[in-house]
């Protein structure tokens, strides 16, 4: 674009990526077809009322199923589903491996013996044993241990609206959760987690509200004392790293000098393992401290921009207070969709035709092409969830862009958030659909590999396990990079109203041209917010609220970079930026004049959109040292862990670091020379 042409953001609005919007709409129609099919085939009655192992729906009269015994029974007075062994789950097939019966009432108290089961049937008229066994035969029949529930029968209560007898015991809830979670590695942790949540739900709710208050307070503090806070946190982190490293080396030296004769032979190996662990921790802490110190040393001149952006971000939240509540609406939308998705999933689990399995019980299965509806439904979970999250990013980006590029802040729209939502719905839903689909394409293979890894745990060899972990790690890194690029692409779309690919290309060029500044913001700024999260998480959780602040800072930086690219402060090309950022630019220009010819390196840093060779060289040097340092750190490990770590580091370097460096160098060669404006 010519430097003499006046650039005006937020103009020439047009719909972007319309084909992707149509594709997303068609996909959602397919999701609705799956839900309608499962309801129309009678699965709704089986899901809500429940059914026994013979295909009879509880609470109504049933028709006889051909060649299936005990089918066609009248269960008008038996409204609840009772499992003989409710905690026996098939985690692979996600179902309860137990006989299900229709009963008149759930046992509210634990039944320890068959006599208790018989007494419960006589008093409540609810037979908990198989239909072929009369209550009078519970204590006399030799088949009673097989046809009656597993003892002791846990106390249970009917689930509201679904008429299932669910055990009151909290450990059974953990096993139910294990059936829904694919990648559970430690069942004991899940048991403790669910138990803690159920017993402390009131405290958790209170702490969540407290986290909101503390997050808002931290946002205000960051705005008014951002300069002091950044340097204080930086100094504290460096001193803490030095102190922690010193303590680890001191403990290692003390442990090494301790006499070995006083240790019994059984504990000698444990002492040696502890000594080796201390050495590894001390080396890792030393490497971390050196890297942190070097980063702070290199980035010290670029902290000023981070401080200015944090200050302006605080002003953004004053002018746009609804930004604070944006996570609530996103969370509410996600919850509504997840409830719909789970309900449809449950419908799918009870749809199809009745088929007798090997045990003589009834299962409902879908045959033909319709059996693949599960996969379609799972893809829908990921794509639509990512779509909702992307809508939040586009909404926040649009509101912040409107604030930044409005010269007179008194002329801001009445509700910039609502105006941003309106622009999103009218123009940019296709862009959001395309960006979220790209994330879905990366996330699905990673989840499949994680599932394969969990299913093959303990069966595959070391080489296969290493390859799987390396692929999962690379896909995770790729997903994070794409998430970051998508967010900046949404910002570029909000500014110029371009499609996703054009916006992603523009955003990537700007990020590459400002590589060192991006590194400064992502190290100093994000680390500062991370410490704020840690500070609040010590008593609550606050990630979702401070992540909005982090997003605002990233959007402001891209706006600042684009502003300085197309404007220079001359008449007709005035800056849109805030006074604080204007002071940063003026200070940069003064530093350039004072530096003269000797300040070529600083001058390059002070021109946001100029020069790429130095930054590309810096990236290459950083990647080389990063790989060398990673390999050196891996040498402290041994055996299989060493092979796994070194493979991951090499793959990360080859497939993530090097391509980014080469792309940055390629774009720097394509960039036209800068044009001086008189």
Q: What is the pLDDT of residues 243-256, one digit of tens each?
A: 888 988 988 888 88
Structural domain contains residue 425? yes
Both 303 and 402 in a single domain? Answer: yes
Give the integer Cα–Cα distance in Å for 455 and 445: 15
Both 258 and 124 in a single domain? Answer: no
Both 537 and 550 in a single domain? Answer: no
151 contact partners, CB below 8 Å, separation of at least 6: 111, 112, 113, 114
Residue 558: pLDDT band with limits 50, 70, 90: confident
Both 516 and 556 in a single domain? Answer: no
Structure tokens that stand for 377 in this block: 């439904």
Structure tokens that stand for 56 in this block: 């009879």
Both 217 and 85 in a single domain? Answer: no
pLDDT given at position 206: 73
DSSP character at residue 598 = G
Over range 295-321, report the average pLDDT: 74
Sign (positive or negative) of CA dihedral 533, 535, 541, 546:
negative
pLDDT given at position 374: 83
Residue 179: pLDDT band with limits 50, 70, 90: very low
Residue 672: pLDDT band with limits 50, 70, 90: very low
Residue 644: pLDDT band with limits 50, 70, 90: very low
pLDDT given at position 129: 93
Give the integer Cα–Cα distance in Å for 604 and 613: 10
The answer on pLDDT for 610 being more than 60 is: no
Pair 542, 536: CB distance under 8 Å: yes
pLDDT given at position 457: 66
Structural domain contains residue 341? yes
- CB neighbour class for 558 (10 Å; exposed up to 12, middle 13-18, buried from 19): buried
Tens digits of residue pLDDT in 578-604? 877 777 777 766 766 665 544 443 333
Both 113 and 151 in a single domain? Answer: yes
Both 574 and 463 in a single domain? Answer: no
Over range 494-516, report the average pLDDT: 83
DSSP states of 305-345: HHHHHHHHHHHHHHH-GGGGGHHHHHHHHHHHHHHHHHHHH
Both 119 and 254 in a single domain? Answer: no
The answer on pLDDT for 657 being more than 60 is: no
Both 456 and 551 in a single domain? Answer: no
Structural domain contains residue 575? yes
pLDDT given at position 674: 40
Structural domains counted in the chain: 3
CA distances (Å), 663 to each of 145, 556, 589, 620, in order?
Answer: 70, 24, 30, 12
Range of 523's domain?
205-543
pLDDT given at position 216: 67
Residue from 323, 248, 236, 314 nearest 280 by CA: 248
Tens digits of residue pLDDT in 35-63? 888 887 766 788 888 889 888 999 999 98
Structural domain contains residue 79? yes
Both 215 and 155 in a single domain? Answer: no
pLDDT given at position 530: 62
């Amino acid at each position: 674009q010519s430097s003499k042409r006046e650039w005006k953001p937020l103009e020439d609005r047009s719909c972007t990526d319309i084909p992707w919007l149509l594709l997303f709409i068609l996909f959602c129609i397919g999701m609705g077809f799956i839900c309608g099919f499962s309801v129309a085939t009678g699965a709704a009655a089986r899901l809500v009322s429940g059914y026994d192992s013979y295909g009879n729906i509880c609470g109504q009269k049933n028709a006889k199923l051909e060649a299936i015994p005990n089918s066609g029974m009248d269960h008008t007075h038996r409204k609840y589903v009772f499992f003989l062994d409710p905690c026996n789950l098939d985690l692979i097939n996600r179902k309860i491996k137990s006989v299900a019966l229709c009963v008149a009432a759930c046992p509210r108290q634990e039944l320890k013996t068959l006599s208790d089961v018989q007494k419960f049937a006589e008093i409540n008229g609810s037979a908990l044993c198989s239909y072929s066994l009369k209550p009078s035969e519970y204590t006399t029949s030799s088949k009673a241990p097989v046809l009656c529930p597993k003892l002791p029968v846990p106390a249970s209560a009917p689930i509201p609206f679904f008429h299932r007898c669910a055990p009151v015991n909290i450990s059974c809830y953990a096993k139910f959760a294990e059936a829904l979670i694919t990648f559970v590695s430690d069942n004991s942790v899940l048991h403790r987690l669910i138990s803690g949540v159920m017993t402390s739900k009131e405290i958790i709710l209170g702490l969540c509200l407290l986290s909101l208050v503390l997050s808002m307070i931290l946002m205000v503090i960051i705005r008014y004392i951002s300069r002091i806070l950044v340097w204080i946190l930086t100094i504290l982190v460096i001193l803490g790293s030095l102190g922690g490293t010193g303590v680890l080396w001191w403990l290692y030296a003390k442990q090494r000098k301790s006499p070995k004769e006083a240790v019994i032979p059984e504990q000698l190996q444990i002492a040696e393992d502890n000594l080796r662990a201390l050495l590894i921790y001390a080396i890792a802490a030393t490497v971390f401290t050196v890297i942190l110190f070097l980063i702070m040393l290199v980035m010290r001149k670029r902290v000023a921009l981070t401080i200015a952006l944090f200050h302006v971000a605080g002003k953004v939240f004053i002018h746009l207070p609804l930004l604070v509540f944006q996570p609530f609406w996103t969370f509410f939308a996600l919850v509504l969709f997840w409830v719909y998705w789970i309900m449809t999933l449950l419908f799918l689990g009870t749809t199809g035709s009745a088929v007798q399995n090997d045990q003589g019980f009834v299962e409902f299965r879908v045959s033909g092409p319709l059996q693949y509806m599960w996969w379609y439904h799972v893809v829908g979970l990921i794509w639509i969830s990512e779509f909702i999250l992307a809508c939040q990013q586009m909404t926040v980006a649009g509101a912040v862009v409107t604030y930044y590029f409005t010269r007179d802040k008194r002329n801001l729209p009445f509700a910039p958030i609502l105006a941003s939502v309106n622009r999103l719905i009218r123009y940019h839903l296709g862009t959001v659909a395309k960006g979220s689909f790209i994330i879905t394409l990366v996330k699905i293979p990673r989840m499949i590999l994680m599932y394969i890894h969990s299913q093959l745990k303990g069966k595959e060899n070391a080489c296969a396990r290493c390859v799987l972990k390396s692929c999962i790690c690379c896909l995770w890194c790729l997903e994070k990079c794409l998430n970051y690029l998508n967010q900046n692409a949404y910002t570029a779309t909000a500014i110029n109203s371009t499609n996703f690919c054009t916006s992603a290309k523009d955003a990537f060029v700007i990020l590459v041209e400002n590589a060192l500044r991006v590194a400064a913001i992502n190290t100093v700024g994000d680390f500062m917010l991370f410490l704020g999260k840690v500070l609040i998480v010590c008593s609550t959780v606050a990630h979702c609220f401070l992540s909005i602040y982090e997003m605002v800072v990233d959007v402001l930086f891209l706006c600042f970079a684009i502003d300085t690219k197309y404007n220079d402060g001359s008449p007709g090309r005035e800056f849109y930026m805030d006074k604080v950022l204007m002071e940063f630019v003026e200070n940069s220009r003064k530093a350039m004049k004072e530096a003269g010819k000797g300040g070529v390196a600083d001058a390059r840093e002070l021109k946001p959109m100029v020069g790429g060779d130095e930054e590309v060289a810096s990236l290459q040097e950083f990647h080389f040292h990063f790989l060398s340092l990673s390999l050196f750190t891996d040498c402290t490990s041994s055996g299989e862990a060493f092979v796994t770590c070194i493979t991951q580091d090499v793959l990360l370097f080859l497939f993530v670091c090097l391509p980014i460096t080469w792309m940055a160098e390629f774009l720097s060669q394509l960039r036209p020379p800068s044009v001086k404006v008189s």
